[in-house]
Every structure is written in structure tokens, then in C-alpha cells.
């Protein structure tokens, strides 16, 4: 992995310029969509619980400026920048894969996840969760509100990750476009909408181009798309909720820029950041790009948790 920041310049869509950065690409490979990863094997650190991976703190550049992507077929928005230094003062553990239907049902069965709130827990054809149907147990749980997602993570002894933690886990020390590096998305790396921008759902969603749910794949189906720390599905499948309010990236004063930034100056009904894109998102779901969701649910939004590592 390259330790210095990647220059975000080039021409065309992405491939011509990013071909020069092929050394950042991870080794190819994928598993079938019917074979989920065993997310209970923690090989990263004995400081993290099973199913979690250690991500080191540190200083990195977060976000991108509009002038840095003028040569790309990407529309800049305030949620993508501006570029600024961020320091995370502590290591953290992040769930290696998106939280599954089975994991969430277990929390419900234990009574520690209620699924209640302004918008009650929803079960329909596009929502992966069901109290009784186990056919999507290895798919990411979706259709959770921000409050329900946070309730789950807190029940595990952690919380939703912050915007900065998610970005650190996805890009490591360099300013890669995607968790795997700078090569354009393929169906070996992410489950995304191969038909192009949203609004073309009649052609099917996801790499399977299916017109009927589920549009997601079992978690861990795209190991070639892993982040620098081996975290899976950070692009595609379902977008992931984070702790922060959905506003322009927080900029702080001082030589270090933002230190452990967290924008929580909003109420529970405010919009929250979602990151990573879903099976209904086209190819341009860069690490720099963020969507948002209000206190509602979406079949294209899921959850990943963080927790504190054990002492050395």
C-alpha cells in the first residue's frame, strides 16, 4: 500500500489516469454470491472482539476539493469536502462485515434491540429483515433507522462509527477513491448497479441485475474489495450509517486540523451521513462521496459498528 497521498488528477471517466496507479490495486478474486464470509474469525488483533478488525488511529487527509476532480466524470458536492487534515487519537475496532439479518434478529430475540422508535421496525419485500424468514440471514440487515442501528451497536458494547473513523478504515493512509485502491469498480470488488445511475431500476439492480429482491449479496461476498485493513463491503451492497449529522465536513482550527471530529449538533430526527453506496448505486461511490438519510428507513442502508479495543 502506498503511504503518501494519491494525486487525484486525470482525464476521462477514471480508468486512463488511474491505470498509472495500478500498484494500489488489491489482488483479484471473489467468492460466489451464495457463499458468505465467516465473519466470526478475527485474525487482525487479539485486542478486538470476534468479527472485528483493529484500525489504527493516526493523521490523514479526509475529503476532496472540487478542483481536484474537475477532470473526472464526477459531480462534486459539499459533502465530499473540503480536503482537510484529521487526527484520530485512538485505535478502534470495526466490524469486518456489515451487520447481518441473523445478528440483528439475535439482538431482537435477546430483548436488547427493540426495533421501535418514530418509525417501527419494517418488514417488506425489499427489506432484508424478517422475524421468521431465514433465507436472507447472511445478507446485511437493512431498513433500520439511525436510532435502531445505533441501538444495535450499543447493545454490542460499541456504537456507530464516526464519519472520520469510517473514512480511516476505508482508505488507510492514502487518498484512494475506493476501499480496494484506485481501479474502477467491478463485480469482483463490489455489488453495485452495473446499469448506471439510479432511475434505471427497470433494468435490475446490483451485479446480478435482478428486478426482484434481494438486491444485496451475503456479506463478505466480495473479498477483493476489502479495505487496507481487510474490512469488507465498504463499497456497494448497502450504504452504511455513521454517527455524524449529515452536513458539510467539519473543519477545525489548529495545525493538526480536526482531532477526533464528531458532528452531533443535531437532534435524533436530523439527517445522518450514509457512506459506501449500495447495490442500487452506480459506479461513482467514492470514499469522498456521502449521502444522507433522515429518521426513516431504506432497503439500501445498513449498519456497521465500532468498539474500543482491549488494552495491550
24: confidence class by pLDDT, cuts 50, 70, 90:
very low
Q: Which one-letter DSSP state was computed for residue 6? A: P
Query: How many domains does the chain divide into?
Result: 1
pLDDT for res 155: 97
Closest alpha carbon to 243 in 198, 307, 186, 183: 307
pLDDT for res 1: 35
In which element (H, E) is residue 152 found?
A: helix 146-155
pLDDT for res 255: 59
The CATH number of the domain holding residue 237 is: 3.90.1580.10
Closest alpha carbon to 256 in 65, 55, 64, 61: 61
pLDDT for res 35: 36
Question: If you average pLDDT over residues 242-269, what whole number do you get?
Answer: 77
> Rounded to the nearest 5°, which phi and psi values hold at 23?
-65, -15
Q: Which residue has the higher pLDDT, 79 or 244?
A: 244
Question: In whole angstroms, how far apart are CA 301 and each of 127, 143, 238, 291, 306?
Answer: 10, 6, 5, 10, 17
Mind listing the pLDDT tens digit for each residue in 214-253? 999 999 999 999 999 999 999 999 999 999 887 766 677 6
The gap from C-alpha 237 to its chain's centroid, in whole angstroms, comes to 9
pLDDT for res 81: 84
Candidate from 45-49, 94-98, 289-293 with smallest mean pLDDT: 289-293
Q: What's the chain's Rg over C-alpha atoms?
A: 18
pLDDT for res 188: 96
Sign of CA dihedral 97, 101, 102, 106: positive
Question: If you average pLDDT over residues 56-78, what whole number do you get?
Answer: 87
Q: Which residue has the higher pLDDT, 298 or 14?
A: 298
What domain range includes position 177? 1-312
5: confidence class by pLDDT, cuts 50, 70, 90:
very low
Question: If you average pLDDT over residues 156-160, what whole number do you get?
Answer: 97
- Model confidence, pTM: 0.84
Mind listing the pLDDT tens digit for each residue in 35-49? 333 333 344 478 999
pLDDT for res 269: 73
* pLDDT greater than 70 at residue 65: yes
Amino acid at each position: 500500500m502506498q503511504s503518501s497521498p494519491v494525486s487525484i488528477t486525470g482525464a476521462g471517466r477514471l480508468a486512463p489516469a488511474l491505470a498509472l496507479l495500478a500498484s494500489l490495486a488489491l489482488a483479484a478474486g471473489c467468492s460466489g454470491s451464495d457463499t458468505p464470509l465467516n465473519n466470526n474469525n478475527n485474525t487482525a488483533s487479539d485486542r478486538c472482539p470476534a468479527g472485528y478488525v483493529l484500525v489504527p488511529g493516526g493523521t490523514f487527509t479526509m475529503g476532496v476539493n472540487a478542483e481536484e476532480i474537475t477532470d473526472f466524470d464526477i459531480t462534486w458536492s459539499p459533502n465530499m469536502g473540503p480536503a482537510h487534515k484529521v487526527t484520530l487519537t485512538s485505535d478502534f475496532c470495526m466490524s469486518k462485515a456489515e451487520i447481518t439479518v441473523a445478528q440483528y434478529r439475535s439482538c431482537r430475540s435477546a430483548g436488547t434491540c427493540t426495533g421501535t422508535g418514530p418509525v417501527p421496525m419494517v418488514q417488506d419485500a425489499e427489506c432484508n429483515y424478517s422475524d421468521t424468514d431465514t433465507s436472507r440471514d447472511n445478507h446485511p440487515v437493512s431498513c433500520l433507522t439511525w436510532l435502531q442501528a445505533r441501538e444495535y451497536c450499543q447493545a454490542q458494547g460499541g456504537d456507530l462509527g464516526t464519519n472520520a473513523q469510517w473514512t480511516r478504515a476505508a482508505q488507510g493512509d492514502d487518498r484512494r477513491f475506493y476501499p480496494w485502491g484506485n481501479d474502477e469498480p467491478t463485480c469482483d470488488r463490489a455489488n453495485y448497479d452495473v446499469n448506471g445511475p439510479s432511475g434505471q431500476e427497470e433494468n435490475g439492480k446490483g451485479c446480478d441485475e435482478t428486478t426482484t429482491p434481494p438486491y444485496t449479496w451475503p456479506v463478505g461476498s466480495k473479498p477483493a474489495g476489502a479495505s487496507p485493513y481487510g474490512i469488507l463491503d465498504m463499497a456497494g451492497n448497502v450504504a452504511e450509517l455513521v454517527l455524524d449529522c449529515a452536513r458539510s465536513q467539519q473543519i477545525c482550527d489548529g495545525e493538526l486540523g480536526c482531532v477526533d471530529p464528531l458532528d452531533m449538533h443535531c437532534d435524533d430526527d436530523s439527517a445522518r451521513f450514509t457512506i459506501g453506496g449500495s447495490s442500487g448505486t452506480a459506479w461513482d461511490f467514492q470514499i469522498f462521496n456521502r449521502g444522507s438519510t433522515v429518521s426513516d428507513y431504506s432497503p439500501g442502508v445498513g449498519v456497521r459498528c465500532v468498539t474500543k479495543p482491549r488494552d495491550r
